[in-house]
Amino acid sequence: MRVVFAGTPEPAVPSLRALLESERHEVIAVVTRPDAAAGRGRKTMRSPVGQLADEHGIPVFTPAKPADPDFVSQLTELAPDVCPVVAYGALLPQPVLDIPRFGWINLHFSLLPAWRGAAPVQAAIAAGDEITGASTFLLDAGMDTGPVLGVVTERVRATDTTGDLLTRLASSGADLLAATLDAIEDGTASAHPQPEDGISYASKVSVDAARIDWTRSAAFVDRHIRSVTPTPGAWTTIGELRVKISPVQHSEDTLAPGSIEVRKSGVHIGTGTTAVVLGEVQPQGKKLMKALDWARGARLDDTAVAR
């Protein structure tokens, strides 16, 4: 089939690569978000999906809005059979949804209807889900509400960060997406309406929402930190200093929520239940470092509290 692929961030790259390597489908163009500033130097850069398309000499479209008349005209002229989409980052209006013969096939990193929305992997880890996965479904005007074409499951490991889990789902999801397109071409694809039960939503996690609440349980704090690692990154304030916190380990000790004890065994912080032990931290304006090295250099005293 003639394919126009839409996607933007790194987790969408395995899906595009799988379709480029497929002998059954021809990627005739790629749609991605406009070039944006990134990195320490804030240089304008092409998205990861756009970069891969450039490497293969595939035309890349970067409309400011998918409803732009020029983009709608260009896509109509291409007359794609199907448009797979993975984390594109913009809502598609109905006139655009209507262009491909077999519609837009979305790869979403959850077991729908659980965790519809922008941050399904973060939500699954934060909620303590033991099983998650990825779904392919026919995109419609709703928020991840279209009929499901295929699923793949994945166990959430006890130490998984969002980065870890998303890397695995991006790989298995790419295989699922390619198999879904194969089934559509063969005429064997079967779309099943999503059930009315079990619907949940996962909004994008803001920097403010990534702040750690030390009054919650150690299990909650652990899941929260892993769910926002690597981005936007869990953080707290210690005195006037803002510090990013990497995944922690559990301790059997009990400390008051937010209170800090620096020991030979590590930096312990109290929660609403038992304490946790910090792994690595990143003070504002500095590099990531071992928590114990940082605490000794910062000369934290017994009055230090994380808030």
What is the model's pLDDT at position 296? 85
Q: Is the pLDDT of residue 302 over 80?
A: no
What is the model's pLDDT at position 205? 96
pLDDT interval class at 41 (50, 70, 90): low
300 is in an annotated binding site: no
Q: Where are the beta strands (DSSP E) in the chain?
A: 2-7, 26-31, 36-38, 43-45, 60-61, 83-86, 104-108, 116-117, 131-138, 148-155, 201-202, 234-238, 241-245, 249-250, 260-263, 266-269, 276-277, 280-283, 289-290
75 is in an annotated binding site: no
181 is in an annotated binding site: no
Straight-line distance from the first to the last Cα atom of the chain, in angstroms, rounded to the nearest whole number: 55
> Do 259 and 305 touch, CB atoms closer than 8 A?
yes
Tokens of 173: 């999801």
What average pLDDT does the segment 96-124 reach? 98
What is the model's pLDDT at position 42? 66
112 is in an annotated binding site: yes
> Do 106 and 146 touch, CB atoms closer than 8 A?
yes
Q: Report the range of poorest mean pLDDT among 37-41, 146-150, 265-269.
A: 37-41
What is the model's pLDDT at position 29? 98
CA dihedral 122, 209, 203, 168 (to 10 degrees): -10
> Do 58 and 27 touch, CB atoms closer than 8 A?
yes
CA-atom Rg of the chain in angstroms: 22
pLDDT interval class at 269 (50, 70, 90): very high
> Do 86 and 15 touch, CB atoms closer than 8 A?
yes
Enter the pTM of the model: 0.94
Cβ partners under 8 Å of residue 44, min gap 6: 35, 36, 37, 38
What is the pairing mode between strands 201-202 and 234-238? unpaired
Rounded CA gap, 270 and 216, in Å? Answer: 10
Number of H helices, E strands in the chain: 8, 19
| 147 closest CA partner among 194, 216, 113 | 194
